[in-house]
Structure 1
Amino acid sequence: MDMKKRVSLELRHRSPTEVQELVVDNCRASEGKIEGITEEFSNLELLSLINVGLTSVSDFPKLDKLRKLELSDNRISGGLEVLAERLVNLTNLDLSGNKFKDISTLEPLKKLPHLKSLDLFNCEVTNLADYRESIFKLLPQLTYLDGYDIEDCEASDSDGEGDGIEDEDEEEGESEDFEEEEEEDEEDVVAEDDDDDSGDDEDGEVNGDVDSEDDDEDEEDEDDDEDSSPAKGEKRKRDPEDEDDD
């Protein structure tokens, strides 16, 4: 399928201004140039043109909001001035698998102030001596080259987007806050348990006092019953009425 037809299929039921991501990988570029992608894609943020047979980027439209551009596995060997002029907010550029031989062909990328990640895998330029040091010196705005920073630390997917470090800090902060909240909850639970125990003790003391009073009353009742009944070994006195009956 050619590129122009593929772009038309991607636009089914929507206008170019509604498109933020456009992927037309593995289609055919007529005469090695871009077709079907115009400045009407004014809100485009990601464009992927992997293995489409591009030999030139001279027909690239001006896309102010484009941040990520995938051009790997094509036959581009130069002409990057166009990208520097028309994609001013580009942050991620993948040129791996193209025909770049000299570091000087990459010099126009200095005009991309927001460029943070550049990939040149499988390009002849990577075989040059001091390749990485030379690229980082040429493009000081870069954070990652071929997926690694200047200290050879590998980039995560989120780092490649330029937001990974901040996200990790936020996640760590959130986890610390969560742990502090858990500790506070545990302290509250322990405090509540202590209050419950003290309440039980108070109830026990109150109940103990009441129980002791009840016991005293029972003992007094028993004493009254003992006083009203004759002691063992004593004769029961006869009432005068009993004598009259006799």
Structure 2
Amino acid sequence: MDYVYSTTENGIATLEFSHSQANCLPLDFLYRLSEELNKLSVDDTVKVVLLRSAGEKTFCAGAFFDELSQVDSLEKGKEFFSGFALVLNAIRQCAKPIIGRAQGKAVGGGVGILACCDYVFATEQASIRLPELSIGIGPFVIAPVIERKMGTAALSELSFDPEQWKNAYWAEKKGLFARVFENISDMDKEIDYFLRKLSSYPIESLVEIKKILWKSTPSWENLLFENASISGKLALSDFTKNKIAKKNK
């Protein structure tokens, strides 16, 4: 069952998405995620947001390749990659802290979403990879997010070795994950405790800390969409078209 929905209880909002193809994110899902985040940002009953996906194996497989294969113009290319720009900016601009839950692997845009969260819990199964270069494009939209969270060296290592999975402890060492657990059960127990504790603090303090954390990123309002244009242009190449066609067989 594919869905995007949010629920709120005791000041804690849970925003969850699910897609049958390894929790990939079609464009309409990205629109819905950004809309939900914008609503939660101004909801006075919400103090903290948990961003999670369904299932146990994969947090997010990134972009929906069936849609990417339909890109046949610069306009459609920019529109496709701008979906992630919308979500990343919505996370950045959300007045409430966003806590990420990575129960499994994250690929491409999924890594970018985790990097944009303010604090991330993960399991040992949460390996990460940026495969974009292997299909002739690059992680341009998510690059500023990953560079901010993990540093230029980590972004370079992930970008230029697109077939290599990095394990959860590598990601923790580089700053993507705050804490890594052996299994989902242990992680969820700690997340529950963490969220209840965080939601007990004054909302004014949480909002001001969020502002401080993101004070150097106002340029992202335009930058991420400019980078989406780069990805959209490269997606029209014969190399990329052939690679996507092979993956969709």
TM above 0.5: no
- In terms of fraction of residues, the more strand-rich structure is 2
Tell which has more relative contact order, 1 or 2 (C-alpha 8 A, sep 6+). Answer: 2
The structure having more radius of gyration, on CA atoms, is 1
TM-score by length of 2: 0.30
TM-score by length of 1: 0.31
